[in-house]
Chain A
Amino acid sequence: MNEQQSLLTLIYNDNPTLLAESGLDIRGITIYRRNLLANAQRALSITFPTIFQLLDSDVSEDLVQQFLALCPPSQGDWGQWGEEFSHFIATSQIAYDYPYLPDCAMLDWHIHHALHGVDQLIDHASLQRLGDSEPEHIKVQLNKNVALITSKYPINDIFYAHHHSEDSQRKSAMLRAKETLTSSVNAEQVFMVFRPEFQPKVITLTESESIFVNALQQQKSLADALDAVSHLNDFSFENWLLTAIEQNLIYQFKAEQL
């Protein structure tokens, strides 16, 4: 093992034999271990702000330590680290006590991605496809910052209870979250992350909206997406389109010969 490999291994792992063989000073290694943990903790607390507000600092430090060992960073940009964090939480002891944490982490991850995602605005010219092509030939390319998450927990309320800019809204969201968490029936819901301008938002979708957006995400034609919600009476494409343009959900309409 070369000197760089030895040092990196000793920072990530406690290995007394390797330490003795390397001749490296444990005081220095201890500093690098502390720095790594502090950097990792800071990075995850930025990417997963809800999780780190929900957990006590000693619990979160422990989680970060375990996550570092299991999924060390590999990209040189702490902002890209943490894709597996939600799954990691789901398999850790803390999820038994707080089963909604993995889904909260998933929401944090998508919001973090949307926050740094590509700046996309609707291609207005492409709206013309709606007039000059048949729905079966039209595909809707959603904005890259749109993501759907399914959860039986009130993850949007938990998120806003911690991050809404207005105190009254935070309190209301907290009340709703507590009410839902204590209710005996928790049906699955679909949440949508999107970015109207720079600040991502999350909302709960109705069943028809979620089926429709999911179909578009799967690159089904507009006709097929509309067919998927035809049995539900509450869906209006015209209303959805107006809201979608307002919320910056659509990037482009494309006409294709299928």
Chain B
Amino acid sequence: MSVKNNNILIGVGLRHPHFTDVLTQPKQVDFVEVHSENFFGEGGAALSVLKQTRERYPISLHSTSMGLGSREEIPQDYLYRLKKLTQMIDPFLMSEHACFTWGQQQGQLIHSGDLLPIEHTHASLDRMCMQVDRVQSLLGRELIIENVSAYLHFAQSHLSEAAFLAALSQRTGAKILLDINNIAVNSLNFEGGDIAQSIANYIKVLPIDSVAQIHLAGSSLPATGEFVIDDHACPVSDQVWQGYEQAIQRFGAVPTLIEWDNDLPTWSILIAEADKARALANSILAKGERQ
């Protein structure tokens, strides 16, 4: 399914408590995004809801476990399930993260259960390009790769994450999913917290046509001295909205998603966040200014 991109497309993350809303409320967003792995079952009510939702909305499949940056190969069973879901849903966007998830423990393959950071080196870039090529070839689709919130860094990294993703995109044809909150979280935890500057530094490295989706989310404020956790548990912060303005100025009408995963609000509050994104993007796009 293709979606015309004349106007900005605004979507929301669809989670279980909103299943009834998405099927019964008037259509107020352009697309919804779901976590692929939540629909890896062979059948049942959740998959049925997804199929019904697909009749009303374009769907973005966002995977969280593939671990494209893993040194281990992504297991066939995982890819088989993802391919099956992809063929069933025919998503208009398909994304994953620039992270690793697979490893070995006592000779057994294990999954990290989280998005773990990768080294940003030429060697890890080579590895991830191979994984992305393999998955894109298997699925017959272009992937969109997201920058992550990281809570530690590897001393061996000699590329910035932005440069890493730009090179990955250039070499594989995959696009970039720009998560502005993740840049903000990393800025607060590791870069002194000048979020506007961190975002400006990040996006100027990314080629204008490389960004195919934007994620907006909120993070709870931590106790003093503790790291900010990317918990998607509150509204988008003012600083992230300001970063979004910068991103739209640079990349134009890129499909944008409001992510809210914990302490879920009502559907109407979620839609209000989406409306806010649309109004902000349209005001920037109306000025017609690109950086």
Contacts and interface: CB of A to CB of B under 8 A. Distances in A.
B71 A2 contact: yes
B100 interface: yes
B238 interface: no
A contact patch SS: helix
A29 B117 CA distance: 11
Contacts of A7: 116-117, 152
Interface stretch (A20-28, A54-62, A124-132, A133-141): A20-28
Interface in A1-56: 2-5, 7-9, 11-12, 23-25, 27-29, 31-32, 35-36, 39-40
B114 A116 contact: no
Interface stretch (A73-81, A90-98, A169-177, A201-209): A73-81
A28 B152 contact: yes
A25 B152 contact: yes
B63 to A, nearest CB: 9
Interface residues of A, number: 38
B87 to A, nearest CB: 16
Interface in B101-128: 101-105, 108-114, 116-119
Given A23-B155, A32-B151, A39-B113, A8 B41 contact: no
Contact of B111 (A75, A117, A120): A75
Nearest to A116: B41
A258 interface: no
B109 A119 contact: no
B78 A76 contact: yes
B263 interface: no
B44 A77 contact: no
B44 A32 contact: no
Interface of A: 2-5, 7-9, 11-12, 23-25, 27-29, 31-32, 35-36, 39-40, 72-80, 115-120, 198-199
Given A35-B113, A115-B44, 10 more contacts: A28-B150, A35-B114, A74-B111, A76-B65, A76-B75, A77-B40, A116-B46, A117-B42, A118-B43, A119-B44
